[in-house]
Amino acid sequence: MTGRITEYRRGSWTFDVVDEGPLDGIPIVLLHGFPQRAASWGRVAPLLHAKGFRTYAPDQRGYSPRARPRRRRDYRQSELVDDVLALIDEIGTPDVHVVGHDWGAMVAWALAIREPDRVRTLTTLSVPHPGAFLAAMPRGQILKSWYMLLFQIPWLPEKLLALGLRQPGAARKAGLPESDDDHLATDIVAYGALPGALNWYRAMLIPDKRLRMRRVHVPTTYVWSDGDVALGRTGARLCGSWVDAPYEFVTLRRASHWLPETRPAEVAKAIIDRAATADERAMQSAVDLPAMTPTKDDEERAEQAD
């Protein structure tokens, strides 16, 4: 694929895509989280382009206006994974480097579990392997994930979140850069993406026969922030036990949950370093990158973090 991709289809649904970087660049798929869209990668993607990567950032199911099914069962993870597979088919390469943040990380993990041959390398931000996440639930994670139960209530979360995201300073209160205030109000609420975004949570409780809790067998980097109020240290520490492949665990200290927006240089470096382990062209791009700091053992920091 050489021409730009602005959209792609899967069945009756059409997804919008931000396709940027050199046309002959190394392909990377960037999967956004909640409540965000492709623009959440706007600070990371240019750093990847400068190193020879071509990025494909879709507005995922529920966010793209022409891909907003109303039934919550249509937001099961198997459907979300198939959406990304359709994008990879549209790109026209056997495999791609895959990066995901927050819910996008959950989709990236599931994709790597189900279709390892389509994932050249995996970089996930904030959310650990689902097996590690579930194992951490009785050890404190459930207290950080209370809002997932709240989101199961019909229509009320839409009303409350829409009100909150429209408030001045909403981004800053959530830990995002203050300049992102308009994005939350216009790109999510006014854009009509909030009901579909919440359906990702509502579909969690629906059995999904195509979802399997298996180990990952592709080169993986997991990036966690010790200031993340939603993801605790236990899941971060357990994540590596679910990967049977080259693995790196990176802790970003004093960082919030919103890593692509607040720590783009370190996120880009983690992505490029991981890509370099499986791609000769990416290796050349990573040669002149500065060392990631801090350099002490990250798992010890995760053990000590609150």
Sketch out the chain's domains with CATH numbers: 7-304 (3.40.50.1820)
Please give the pLDDT value at position 212.
84
pLDDT band at 289 (very low <50, low <70, confident <90, very high): low
pLDDT digits (tens, 9 = 90+) for 176-205: 988 887 788 899 999 999 999 999 999 999
In one-letter notation, the amino acid at residue 253 is R
Phi and psi at residue 288, to the nearest 5°: -100, 15
> What tens digit of pLDDT does each residue of 221-265 get?
999 999 999 999 999 999 999 999 999 999 999 999 999 999 999
CA angle 114, 6, 38 (to 5 degrees): 65
Q: For residues 289 and 104, which has the higher predicted lDDT (pLDDT)?
A: 104
Distance between CA atoms of 274 and 122, rounded to whole angstroms? 8
pLDDT on residue 294:
41
State the pLDDT at residue 298.
Answer: 43
Distance in Å from the first CA to the final CA of the chain: 45
Question: For residue 1, what pLDDT is reported?
Answer: 55
**Residue 296 pLDDT exceeds 60:** no
Which of the two residues, 297 and 109, has the higher pLDDT score? Answer: 109
144: phi then psi, degrees, rounded to nearest 5: -85, -15
* Lookup: tokens for 225: 């922030």
pLDDT in tens, 15-53: 999 999 999 999 999 999 999 999 999 999 999 999 999
Q: What is the pLDDT of residue 153?
A: 95
The lowest-confidence range among 147-151, 205-209, 292-296 is: 292-296
Q: What pLDDT, on the 0 to 100 scale, is given for residue 292?
A: 52
Average pLDDT value for residue range 268-278: 96
**274 pLDDT above the threshold of 60:** yes
